[in-house]
């Protein structure tokens, strides 16, 4: 069972888009650290860099703040303003950046062609558009190879899951039609 807030957060994470700044963050030395800004987002355009520490979010110190609380504070309605104070290794004073939240689209599928005609597809989370993205990736890799692929690596490492229909849909890309992927059975054997 999920409460309304938990369900809302799940929907946001599996839709693949949300109002925010566009960066992956983690925690280090009691502060929020930028792992990487996402390409073509407010964070990247404002010059936020990998390795920056977010010292303050709208004048509130992030010291001791957990990552999920920091993410909640940085996400919000597109078009709204937020100010971050950053600490950067090579800067002698804090950097203040004013950003405007935008709709961030998270890419759950990445792919490239490996040597020997082997395709590589990485899925970071099963979202609403994952099935379409995997099918497109298979087509693009086949096109890049110039002939049918000899094999495929489907990388699901660190994928926390997501939408069941996304996982079933991805399976259908690789399995024979009408294959059973998932089934449920009730306690009374009637369902």
pLDDT per position as a tens digit, 51-110:
999 999 999 999 888 888 898 899 888 899 999 999 998 888 999 999 999 988 777 899
| pLDDT of 2 above 80 | no
Q: How far apart are the first and last CA of the chain?
A: 20
Q: Is 39 helix (H, G, I), strand (E, B) or coil?
A: coil
What does the pLDDT look like over 118-128, one tens digit per residue?
Answer: 999 999 888 88
Write out the two tokens for 181. Answer: 């992927």
Give the pLDDT band (50/70/90) at residue 191.
low
Q: Is 25 exposed, middle or buried (0-12, 13-18, 19+ CB in 10 A)?
A: buried
Rounded to whole angstroms, the Cα distance separating 3 from 86 reads 34
Res. 112: pLDDT tops 80: yes
Contacts of range 69-72, beta carbons closer than 8 Å, 24 or more positions apart? 70/25, 70/32, 71/20, 71/25
Query: Is 0.85 surpassed by the pTM of this model?
Result: no
- pLDDT per position as a tens digit, 151-183: 999 999 877 788 888 888 999 888 898 888 888
> Distance between CA 116 and CA 113 in Å, rounded?
9
- pLDDT recorded at residue 166: 87
Following DSSP, what letter does each residue of 54-114 receive, concatenated? Answer: EEEETTEE-TT--HHHHHHHH---TT-EEEEEEE-TT-SS-EEEEEE-EEEE---EEEEEE
User: What does the pLDDT read at residue 14?
Assistant: 61
pLDDT for res 23: 86
Question: CA-CA distance, 191 to 187, in Å (whole number)?
Answer: 8
Is the confidence at residue 129, as pLDDT, over 70? yes
Contact 34, 71 (CB under 8 A): no
């Amino acid at each position: 069972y999920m409460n309304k807030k938990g369900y809302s957060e799940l929907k946001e994470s599996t839709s693949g888009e949300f109002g925010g700044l566009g960066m992956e963050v983690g925690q280090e030395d009691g502060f929020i650290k930028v792992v990487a800004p996402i390409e073509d987002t407010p964070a990247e355009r404002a010059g936020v860099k990998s390795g920056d520490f977010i010292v303050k979010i709208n004048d509130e110190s992030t010291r001791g703040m957990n990552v999920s609380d920091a993410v909640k504070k940085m996400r919000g309605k597109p078009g709204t303003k937020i100010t971050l104070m950053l600490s950067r290794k090579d800067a002698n004073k804090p950097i203040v950046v004013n950003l405007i939240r935008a709709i961030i689209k998270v890419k759950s599928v990445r792919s490239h062609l490996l040597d020997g005609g082997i395709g590589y597809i990485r899925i970071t989370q099963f979202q609403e558009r994952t099935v379409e993205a995997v099918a497109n990736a298979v087509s693009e890799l086949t096109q890049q190879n110039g002939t049918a692929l000899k094999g495929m690596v489907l990388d699901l490492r660190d994928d926390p899951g997501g939408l069941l229909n996304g996982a079933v849909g991805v399976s259908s890309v690789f399995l024979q039609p009408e294959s059973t992927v998932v089934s449920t059975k009730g306690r009374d054997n009637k369902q």
